Amino acid sequence: MAGAVAYIKEIHRRMAAGVFGATSAMPGSTSVRAAHDGISGRACSGVRGALLATGWLAGGMTSKVSALPAAMRQRTNLAIAALDAAVGDRLCDANSSLAIRMALRSGGRVIPVRPDRLEAAYPDATPRLAVFLHGLGETENSWRMHADDHDGDGPVTYGSRLVAAGSYTTLYLRYNTGLHISDNGKRLSDLLTAVVSAWPTPVEEIIVIAHSMGGLVARSACHYGQQTEEPWIPAVRHVFYLGAPHLGAPVERLTSYATGMLSKSELTRPIAALVNRRGAGIKDLRFGYIVDDDWTNCDPDACVRSHRHNVPLLSTANHHSISATITTGQRHPFGWIFGDLLAPPANAYGRHPRNRNIPFDSDHRYHIGRSHHFDLLNHPAYSTPREPGSRSSPLRSNRMPPFTDNGRQLPRCTADRHDEGRAKRPPPTQNPVPHGAPEPRPGKKFEDSRRLRTHKPP
């Protein structure tokens, strides 16, 4: 925050230079400019000192957040998560106490990954784990959105329904969303390796429920975990991507284009430099970077071309992509373009116009209408968890269809239904071309069909 003051000071200095340059011929302008520079310099120094003191005090108070009342604690944690989303990579490099360390969370407290602490925190531990990964600038409490709006006794979340089924133990994580997605993927892989090794019972199955950026972190963790043959990889059965921008976030791309334009002018260049201080995780969302090779040897502030590599999905797991639109259906122009206001449906389904698609199974693509991006954190269109021992998806069961609303199945991706219908349609019949007649050009009709019908072979 204190570093941002330098950019604001530079913007002010350049604007003032333009004004005083235009009025330099006026009498007394030199003395006025000297007074202005002195006052503005002292003001900026005072603001910078105040921000440094505020940051120091805030860093000292992070250890006392758990002692705050519940409502204030949640607001404080959300503010810290938003700060980490903006400049979390810089906080981590500075070893600041405001930088969030990836860890299991329960009851607002960090759960050390040790056998005794895990057994105490999860006394009813089961061999089936449900891992929840939040998105950019969120916390583990974000999964409780609209929890009181559901019909039932007490708050209802995805995790509470899995626990009520008696077959899963829910694990909630919090992590620094300002770091590179690939960095968080490696940290998640290491954390799951430690959890599986220290879990009170042998782990038989893992499902991952990830929202927004969390979906990219999950894919990155699966990639690195498979490379190093981590013990948790064979246990992964299902991964659910809720509004994950697999091909990148349009908002971040627009931001990069805007900063590129602002950097061309000397007057607005400090504004571009200030905006470019945003976290590496946000910049990775521009094109959906999930591995180090995507962003290595590339200046994200200068390069606006995608260097995303085609990273395959974990082959031993089922992958489910869920999108939302603010409109009822996806074919509405606003729904197809704006999607859930952050991720369009084609983005969530991994559809790329130049054959760089992410191969999600068409049977595992779902759509929820009249919802925005954060509705996916706790949407009522949720199926009863599967029976223990079944290898079907936990969000699909024989008794209820996937993502149901009062017993009515919500539509799958309309593009998938269109593809299925097109595949079932019989191929068009073509009239045989008489022997010796010229071959028709593709897409062009014969000018004289009568002559072709009467033509006889020589």
| Lookup result for tokens 């694990």 | 171
Task: Give the type of residue at 232.
Answer: W
Query: What pLDDT score was predicted for residue 12?
Result: 54
Residue 72: other Cβ atoms inside 10 A: 10
Q: Are residues 62 and 109 in the same domain?
A: no
Q: Are residues 59 and 203 in the same domain?
A: no
- The per-residue pLDDT string of the chain (458 residues; one tens digit each, 9 = 90 and over) reads 555 545 555 555 656 565 555 565 566 556 655 655 666 555 555 545 554 444 544 454 455 555 555 667 778 889 999 999 999 999 999 999 899 999 999 988 899 999 999 999 999 999 999 999 999 999 999 999 877 766 666 688 999 988 887 789 999 999 999 999 999 999 999 999 999 999 999 999 999 999 999 999 999 999 999 999 999 999 999 999 999 999 999 999 999 999 999 988 887 888 888 899 999 999 999 999 999 999 998 888 888 889 999 999 999 999 999 999 999 888 888 888 889 999 999 999 998 877 678 989 888 999 999 999 999 999 876 543 443 334 445 444 332 234 333 333 334 443 344 344 434 444 444 444 444 445 445 444 444 444 444 444 44
Tell me if 381 is assigned to some domain: yes
Question: What DSSP designation does 80 have?
Answer: H
Longest dimension (CA), the chain: 103
Tell me if 257 is assigned to some domain: no
Tell me if 400 is assigned to some domain: yes
Q: Are residues 85 and 62 in the same domain?
A: no
Closest CA to 132 of 101, 169, 107: 169
Q: Are residues 330 and 401 in the same domain?
A: yes
Q: Are residues 368 and 413 in the same domain?
A: yes
User: What backbone phi and psi angles, to 5 degrees, belong to 23?
Assistant: -110, 20
CA–CA gap between residue 226 and residue 328 (Å, rounded): 39
* Boundary of a domain, candidates 67, 89, 110: 67
Tell me if 154 is assigned to some domain: yes
Q: Are residues 63 and 184 in the same domain?
A: no
Contact in structure between 195 and 113 (CB atoms under 8 Å): yes
Q: Are residues 397 and 295 in the same domain?
A: yes
Tell me if 445 is assigned to some domain: no
The kind and range of the H/E element at 319 are strand 318-324
Contact in structure between 132 and 158 (CB atoms under 8 Å): yes
Q: Are residues 132 and 209 in the same domain?
A: yes
Contact in structure between 157 and 378 (CB atoms under 8 Å): yes
| Lookup result for tokens 């040897």 | 297
Domain residue limits at 48: 1-67
Tell me if 268 is assigned to some domain: no
Q: Are residues 116 and 14 in the same domain?
A: no
Q: Are residues 63 and 85 in the same domain?
A: no
Task: Give the type of residue at 231.
Answer: P
Q: What is the CATH number of the domain that holds 91?
A: 3.40.50.1820
Contacts of 341 (CB under 8 A, 6+ apart): 326, 372, 373
Residue 237 structure tokens: 């059965």
Q: Are residues 156 and 305 in the same domain?
A: yes
Side by side, which strands form the sheet with 128-133?
A: 109-111, 103-106, 169-174, 128-133, 205-211, 236-242, 318-324, 365-368
* Boundary of a domain, candidates 67, 88, 103: 67
Tell me if 433 is assigned to some domain: no
Q: Name the domain count of the chain.
A: 2
Closest CA to 240 of 80, 89, 84, 130: 130
Q: Are residues 55 and 161 in the same domain?
A: no
* Residue spans of alpha helices (H) in 23-122: 29-61, 70-93, 115-121
Task: Give the type of residue at 418.
Answer: H
Alpha-carbon distances, residue 131 vs 25, 53, 195, 309, 441 (angstroms):
68, 38, 11, 26, 57
User: What backbone phi and psi angles, to 5 degrees, belong to 107?
Assistant: 65, 30
Query: What pLDDT score was predicted for residue 296?
Result: 92
Tell me if 396 is assigned to some domain: yes
Contact in structure between 322 and 376 (CB atoms under 8 Å): yes
